[in-house]
Chains A and B, each alone.
Chain A
Amino acid sequence: RKEVEQDPGPFNVPEGATVAFNCTYSNSASQSFFWYRQDCRKEPKLLMSVYSSGNEDGRFTAQLNRASQYISLLIRDSKLSDSATYLCVVNPIGGTSYGKLTFGQGTILTVHP
């Protein structure tokens, strides 16, 4: 079983749609969680951290369920510029300020007019 698993998609949605991505992780000791965004042939960039209580940043909402070892990302009112690959990222070692991050395969999103 992979340490971090995502549905690779692709997700094709019209502008204005709401879309949700899911991710599961295998190490229950994991302490920190993130969503990164990667544009085509570019490097990954941090989209947002994921906190236990859930957090929102504009049109983006991230949720964490530690009991189910499940992370989600919700994008509301999709824009063409949201088209990218979304990477679920987990620090599997424990602790919050050091150690490697483990990336999922990524979920491809295409927003069309």
Chain B
Amino acid sequence: GAGVSQTPSNKVTEKGKYVELRCDPISGHTALYWYRQSLGQGPEFLIYFQGTGAADDSGLPNDRFFAVRPEGSVSTLKIQRTERGDSAVYLCASSLLGSASGANVLTFGAGSRLTVL
């Protein structure tokens, strides 16, 4: 597609429920990132995929969070047993690695706003 697409745009759930957030990156972008942004803060890194594999998952806060990218394109961020503190905007970004400029420029999706009641 033309840009990074994220669904749902808004998700309201109850504490303890399971949530899946989907990201469809720009076609041909090999790298895909998940960030989380709380009010008044900058985006906080969660996980980064290079192709199908998670190259760096050091930002996942605990084992309730898991992400997959089985075919190297669409990715799903999965949150188990949601807590109120998980409420945030979850941003997905993709980039074209090895670009001529050598710079890792991220293009973000509009985000999925998660509210845990």
Contact = CB atoms under 8 A, between A and B. Distances in A.
Interface in A83-106: 87, 91, 96-106
A61 interface: no
B70 interface: no
A44 B97 CA distance: 19
Interface residues of B, number: 29
Given A44-B43, A49-B105, A106-B42, A100 B111 contact: no
Contact of A43 (B41, B50, B104, B110): B110
Contact of A32 (B40, B45, B104, B109): B104
A97 B102 contact: yes
B108 A97 contact: no
Nearest to A99: B104
A4 B44 CA distance: 11
Majority DSSP secondary structure for residues of A touching B: loop
Contacts of B77: none
A8 B104 CA distance: 25
Given A43-B110, A43-B111, A44-B108, A103 B42 contact: yes
A87 B55 CA distance: 24
B72 to A, nearest CB: 15
A25 interface: no
Contacts of A42: 110
B41 to A, nearest CB: 6
A101 B42 contact: no
